[in-house]
């Protein structure tokens, strides 16, 4: 069994630190967000959700009122046709 020869040197702590500073830390900064950024994003999403919720509430109220008036109009037309 032959041992494979490599020209690579063992990884030292200094080399690991250098690698982390040059490669790993910038990669993490690009691909992950900070707690503060997350909170800002969450607040923005919740604000948009509140706006959408208010608009939906208005639309549902209008629909309920429209259905009520339509029902009353049909009842009134039904009563008028019975009288004729």
pLDDT per residue as tens digits for the range 20-77: 999 998 898 888 888 899 999 999 999 999 999 999 999 999 999 999 999 999 888 8
Q: Give the Cα separation of 26 and 64 in Å (integer).
A: 55
Selected residue with higher pLDDT from 23 and 78: 23
Q: Give the Cα separation of 52 and 44 in Å (integer).
A: 12
pLDDT for the residue 34: 86
Q: How many CB atoms lie within 10 A of CB 20?
A: 13
Residue 1, pLDDT above cutoff 80:
no
> What are the residue boundaries of the structural domains of the chain, listed by start?
34-84
pTM of the complete model:
0.51
């Amino acid at each position: 069994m032959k041992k494979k020869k490599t020209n690579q040197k063992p990884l030292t702590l200094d080399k690991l630190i250098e690698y982390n500073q040059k490669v790993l830390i910038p990669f993490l900064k690009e691909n992950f967000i900070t707690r503060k950024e997350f909170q800002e994003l969450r607040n923005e999403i919740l604000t948009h959700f509140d706006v959408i919720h208010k608009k939906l509430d208005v639309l549902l109220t209008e629909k309920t009122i429209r259905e009520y008036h339509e029902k009353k109009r049909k009842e009134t037309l039904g009563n008028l046709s019975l009288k004729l």
